[in-house]
Amino acid sequence: MSDKFDLASLSRRKFLGAAAAAGAAAVAGPAMADVAIDEIINAPRRGNWDDQFDANSSRTAAAVMSNNPIFGPEAAANIQQAVFDYETIVANGGWPQVNPGQKLRLGVNDPSVADLRKRLIISGDLPRSAGISSAYDSLVEEGVKRFQARHGLPLDGVLGQYTIKALNVSADIRLMQLRTNFQRIQEIKTDLGQRYVMVNIPAAYIEAVENNRVAQRHTAIVGRITRPTHIIDSKIYQVTLNPYWTAPRSIVEKDIVPLMRKDPTYLTKNKIRLFDGQGAEVDPATIDWFADKAPNLMFRQDPGKINAMASTKIEFHNPNGEYMHDTPQQGLFNKLSRFESSGCVRVQNVRDLTTWLLRDVPGWSRQQIEATIKSGQNTPIKLENEVPIYFKYVTAWSARDRIVQFRDDIYQMDGAQELALQTGLNQEPVVAN
């Protein structure tokens, strides 16, 4: 019995990797794709294909992710291969548009599913053996989830508004996007360092990288188009536990003053205190909140659970007053559109990243970090060695062989309106940076 294709001995994750490779092979050419897929589906003791092709969302996401960093040694070669593959797709006529007459989900039978199947097969998200029919079966659902995972969309296997929009971005536009980002990655000439942090703004996530491998990956919330997170190379020099939050002048003017006009108790309820230039505290009741200009005072929020930065602030050198931080609004990390800040970057599971950053600082184990946070005491901690951090704008990449990732061009920098699918969402005022 072949060890390579004995699904009884393979883990489900390894099997997904084999299926993903087969789907990628479909891009390289029909002959290679058919051989790879046939070997898998004809494997001894393979059981039912629907059972083996795991539909669990987290496993689907893992199947398209990689511990290779976006800017690793193989980054340029991987995205160049993606360019070649998409040039082939475009030369062969691209893929069909998907225009369903109803919401497509598991169990639906609709003529547009045939176009969906063709679309997913061409991009390597559905095995050719699935065939072309109008049935939205478990294979199609899993192919949609794989597509969603590659595009940073919720893995629900349903064709919602943004999944349809992403599906219907033409192959030539995707090719242009790959070429644009290939140029961006080629322009990174610096030695990134043995240990660094990378914030990919349009993907709204963070990689902590060590020895050219992703040690941690964190979901993030980054700046909206009207208050963008800046692209910058810098170094992290300090972590502050239980930080004070000092509101930037822009937030004071655009957000806090209008809120005080509506609710004079807003500052008190949110434990924000006012201080003049000499450090003396000022009573909010003495301020004319309807004056033409916002008061020239420092607005500082005390540490605590409702603090805009919650437990942690991560500081790096920059001229924009930006930093990374925790947030009391953890539910925001579950949203599709995570472009809601005023430029700073909120980090999910920030204590894991803090532990990684402080591991070389004597006395700062995870246990000590947790104990200090629990104490509520404002505690700045200098890093023994500053850690490089890179804020980059990459909307397309391939960190794993022939598994191409695309993200929304939230800041409209790629040159095609079709790629800015979410621009305009969540542009309402916010108070946290």
In one-letter notation, the amino acid at residue 2 is: S
CATH number of the CATH domain containing 401: 2.40.440.10
Instruction: Indicate yes or no: pTM above 0.95.
Output: no
* Residue 344 known to be catalytic: yes
Nearest to 16 by CA among 125, 135, 133, 153: 125
pLDDT at 84 over 70: yes
Task: Print the domain residue range for 101.
Answer: 12-177
Whether residues 332 and 200 fall in one domain: yes
Whether residues 85 and 220 fall in one domain: no
Q: Which of these three, 301, 336, 371, is where a domain ends?
A: 301
Q: Where are the beta strands (DSSP E) in 287-395?
A: 298-301, 312-316, 324-325, 339-341, 345-347, 379-392
Burial of 215 (0-12, 13-18, 19+ CB in 10 A): middle
pLDDT at 9 over 90: no
Whether residues 220 and 369 fall in one domain: yes
Is-contact 134 109, C-beta < 8 A? yes
Whether residues 294 and 337 fall in one domain: no
Whether residues 124 and 235 fall in one domain: no
Overall number of domains in the chain: 3
pLDDT, residue 308, reads 84
The reply to whether 428 falls in a domain is no
3-state secondary structure of 219: strand
3-state secondary structure of 391: strand
CA-based Rg of the chain, rounded to a whole angstrom?
Answer: 24
The reply to whether 253 falls in a domain is yes
Residue 418 phi, psi dihedral angles, 5° rounding = -60, -20
Nearest to 232 by CA among 323, 362, 118: 323
pLDDT, residue 59, reads 67
Whether residues 277 and 401 fall in one domain: no
Element (H, E) at 301: strand 298-301
Q: Which of these three, 152, 177, 202, is where a domain ends?
A: 177
Query: Residue 13: which residues within 8 A CB-CB, separation 6 or more?
Result: 59, 62, 63
Whether residues 169 and 267 fall in one domain: no
Whether residues 77 and 187 fall in one domain: no
> Of 151, 218, 317, 344, which residue is the catalytic one?
344
In which band, very low, low, confident or very high, does the pLDDT at 342 lie, cut at 50, 70 and 90? confident
The reply to whether 56 falls in a domain is yes
Element (H, E) at 369: helix 366-375
The reply to whether 293 falls in a domain is yes
Residue 247 is classified by DSSP as P
Q: Which of these three, 150, 177, 204, is where a domain ends?
A: 177
In which band, very low, low, confident or very high, does the pLDDT at 61 lie, cut at 50, 70 and 90? low
Q: For residues 95 and 87, give the distance between their C-alpha atoms in angstroms, rounded to a whole number.
A: 12
